[in-house]
Amino acid sequence: MLPMNYSRQICTFILNGRLFGLDVDCVLEVIRSLPITIVPLAPDAVCGLINLRGQIVTAIDLRRRLELPVSGDGTSLPKMNIIIKTAEGPLCFPIDDVGDVMEVSIQSLEPVPETMTGVARKMIDSVCKLPTQLLLVLKSEFTILAGA
């Protein structure tokens, strides 16, 4: 059992006006948006590949995975990328903006509400009520996030 004062450090980011987070231990880096090369016949969740300092990294579209609406006219490009580590190598999540690293106590994390349905319910680990919004903490099982 975890001690009562145990907390998690969460790297937060904005996607479609919502605040999401990932455990900071999973995040390799946050960078400006890079050109994405489209991969023909790739699964819907794969928006393409990026060249990260000579390493080819798969970019996963969290909007599609979370079944969120496409922003604006569908042509606006994400401003930032979060690069995460997985057992299979790094993955890239294009995002609208990066937030802060927050220390969140485990007491403030609540289970996903029963009213949340669909794929998002499987991908979100917990919810944290902040003074002005909800923080949706994603699971660190990136095969779920990647749609594998």
Give the CATH number of domain 7-146; options: 3.40.50.1820, 2.40.50.180, 3.90.1150.10, 3.50.50.60. Answer: 2.40.50.180
CB 99 within 8 A of CB 14: yes
Instruction: Give pLDDT tens digits for 105-122.
Output: 989 999 998 888 888 888
Handedness of CA 148, 122, 127, 132 (dihedral sign): positive
Classified as helix, coil or strand, 141 is coil
Question: What pLDDT is recorded for position 118?
Answer: 84
List the domain boundaries for the chain: 7-146
Which of 12-26, 88-102, 114-128 is predicted least confidently?
114-128
CB neighbours of residue 134 within 10 Å: 13
Q: Which alpha helices (H) appear in 23-129, and where do they start and end?
A: 62-65, 118-123
**What is the mean pLDDT of the segment spanning 117-130?**
89
The pTM for the full model equals: 0.86
Question: What pLDDT is recorded for position 74?
Answer: 52
d(CA 122, CA 144) in angstroms, rounded, equals 8
d(CA 97, CA 80) in angstroms, rounded, equals 6
d(CA 60, CA 22) in angstroms, rounded, equals 15
Task: Please enumerate in sequence order all residues whose Cβ is within 8 A of that of 50, keeping only pairs 6 or more positions apart, or say none.
Answer: 34, 35, 36, 37, 56, 57, 59, 81, 92
- Expressed in angstroms, the distance from the first to the final Cα of the chain is 31
